[in-house]
Amino acid sequence: MTNDIKTDIVILGAGIAGYAAFKSLSKELKKNNLKKTITLIDQNNYFTFVPLLHEVASGSIEPSHAAVPLKELTYSTPHQYIKATIEKIFPEKNIVQTTVGKISYDYCVVAIGSGVNYFNTKGAKTFSYCVRTLQDAIHLHRSIISKLESCDKEITINVVGGGYTGIEVAGQFSYFANHDLKKLYPNTKIVVNVIQASDKVVPQLPAKAQNKIISQLEKMGVKILFNSKVSEVQEKEITINGKIIPSDFTIWCAGVENIAGHMMDASFCERDRLPVDNFLQHKSYQNLYAIGDIVCGSNQNDTIIYPQIGEAAESQGIYAGKHTICAILKKTIAPFYFKSKGTLMPIGDNYGIIVFPNGWVLSGFFAWWIRRTVYIVFMPGKLRKFKIIVDWTLNLFGFRNMVDIS
C-alpha cells in the first residue's frame, strides 16, 4: 500500500500516449540535466499495444508479446511506476486520487485512453466480446478454442461495426478460420459476418479503398450486412433490424466511449474528453496535459478534432514530454500539429490496404507487409519486436496458438 506521495510529474495511463510521454520526458530531463521525478500510474503493470490485440485474439501473437512490463521501463531510471487505478483528478488542487493514495504533482499528463461504447444496446455489454484490453483478447481467444472443442457443427462469429477495428477483426478471424481451423477442425464450419449500421465500411476512407475492403472480405467468405442495426445481444443470438440470427460469438467493435467524465467534473470536460489548446494543455489548467484518445483538440486554425488513433496518441505523447520540459525551463515551443502519414489496415494475413494522405490507395501483399513492418517499428522494446517477428515467422511453418486453457 502506497502512502500519499508527491511527485514532480505524474503520467496517468501507460498506453500508447502515456508510454510515449514517459520516454520523451525522461529523455528530455536527462538531456537538460533536470533533477525531476516522473511517476507513471496504470491499472495494469504492463503497456499494451492495442493495435495488435486482434492478433492476440486469433492466436497469431502470444499475449505477453503484445505487452511490456512497466517496471522494465522505469528500471535504472530515477523514475517510478505505481500500479493503481485512477479514481479522480482534482486539477484545482494538483492532486490525483488513486486506489493506493493521493498523488500531488506539479505537472500532470492525462493519458487514460477510452472505453467501449455499447450505445445502451440491450445485452451487449453482458454477452459481447471485445478486443479493447489484453484480458479481452485472451478471453475471446480462449472462448473460441474452448467452443471448437465442444462443437463440430457451425460456429457463427458476428463482428458488430464495420469501422477500422471491425474490419481488422473480421479479416483476422476469417483468415484464422480459413487456414488453421479448417485443417484442425475440418467438421466445423465457421461463419464470419460483419454487421454495419450504415451502407459503407470504414466511411472515412475513399470509395476505392472501401470497395477493395469489401471485395477482399467477400473473397475470404465474410458476409457484410449493411444498414443493419443490432438492437439486442443474447448469449447465442442477436437481433438485427427486428430479426433474430444465431451468434455464438458477438464481437463488439462498434464504438468508442469517452471516459474523461469518470475522472473529472463535467465542467472540465468537453464531449467527455479533455479540451486542450494548441499546446495540448488543458484549457483551464496549464500544468495539466491531455494526450491520446482522451484529448479534445484540433490543429491550429482547424476544427477537425484529433483522431482517436495510435499514431496521433504517440505523437501527442512525444510532444507533451517536450512541452513539459519547455514549461519547466520557461522556454517556448511551436504548437502541436498532427498530420497523419497514412492509414494502414490488414485484412487477414497477406492482404492489406494503405491509404496515403493524398488519397492514393495501395493494396495487396506488399501493403500488408508494410503494415507489419511499421507496427514492428512502433512496438516498444527490442526484445518484444523480436518475439513478435518470431511468432509471425513460426506461423508460416505451423499452427497458431490453439491451447485450450479456459
Ligand X SMILES: Cc1cc2nc3c(=O)[nH]c(=O)nc-3n(C[C@H](O)[C@H](O)[C@H](O)COP(=O)(O)OP(=O)(O)OC[C@H]3O[C@@H](n4cnc5c(N)ncnc54)[C@H](O)[C@@H]3O)c2cc1C
Cβ closest to ligand X, residue 16 vs residue 327: 16
Which three cell numbers mark 149?
472443442
Termini Cα distance of the chain: 31
Q: Assess 171 for contact with ligand X (CB under 6 A).
A: no
Among 24, 121, 165, 281, binds ligand X (CB under 6 A): 165
Q: Assess 2 for contact with ligand X (CB under 6 A).
A: no
Shortest separation between residue 369's beta carbon and ligand X, angstroms: 15
Q: Which residues contact 21 (CB under 8 A, 6 or more apart)?
A: 11, 109, 111, 289, 291, 317, 318, 320, 321
Shortest separation between residue 17's beta carbon and ligand X, angstroms: 3
The residue count of the chain comes to 406
Q: Assess 308 for contact with ligand X (CB under 6 A).
A: yes
Buried-exposed string 322-351: b where 16+ CB fall within 10 A, e elsewhere: bbbbebbeeeeeeebebeeeebbbbbbbeb
Give the type of residue at 390: V
How many positions of this chain bind ligand X (CB under 6 A)? Answer: 31
Using alpha carbons only, what angle is made at residue 13 by residues 34 and 371, rounded to the nearest 5 degrees?
100
Among 148, 191, 309, 376, binds ligand X (CB under 6 A): 309
**Separation of alpha carbons 168 and 67, rounded Å:** 19
Q: Assess 113 for contact with ligand X (CB under 6 A).
A: yes
Among 161, 310, 321, 381, binds ligand X (CB under 6 A): 310
Site stretch for ligand X (CB under 6 A), options 50-58, 102-110, 219-227, 391-399: 50-58
Q: Assess 162 for contact with ligand X (CB under 6 A).
A: no
Q: Assess 16 for contact with ligand X (CB under 6 A).
A: yes
Q: Assess 180 for contact with ligand X (CB under 6 A).
A: no
Q: Assess 313 for contact with ligand X (CB under 6 A).
A: yes
Buried-exposed string 103-115: b where 16+ CB fall within 10 A, e elsewhere: bebebbbbbbbbb
Cβ closest to ligand X, residue 16 vs residue 185: 16
Q: Assess 161 for contact with ligand X (CB under 6 A).
A: no
Q: Assess 305 for contact with ligand X (CB under 6 A).
A: no
Longest dimension (CA), the chain: 68
Q: Assess 14 for contact with ligand X (CB under 6 A).
A: yes
Site stretch for ligand X (CB under 6 A), options 30-38, 60-68, 105-113, 273-281: 105-113
Q: Assess 135 for contact with ligand X (CB under 6 A).
A: no
- The radius of gyration of the chain from alpha carbons, rounded to an integer in Å, stands at 22
Shortest separation between residue 244's beta carbon and ligand X, angstroms: 27
Taking CB under 6 A as the rule, which mask of x and - marks residues 19-48 in contact with ligand X? ----------------------xxxx---x
Among 55, 180, 237, 293, binds ligand X (CB under 6 A): 293
Closest residue to ligand X, judged by C-beta, is 15
Contact 114, 308 (CB under 8 A): yes
Cβ closest to ligand X, residue 17 vs residue 205: 17
> Look-up: residue for cell 500544468?
287
Site stretch for ligand X (CB under 6 A), options 10-18, 264-272, 381-389, 391-399: 10-18
Q: Assess 85 for contact with ligand X (CB under 6 A).
A: yes
Binding site for ligand X (CB under 6 A): 13-18, 41-44, 48, 50-51, 53-54, 85-86, 111-113, 131-132, 165, 292-294, 308-311, 313
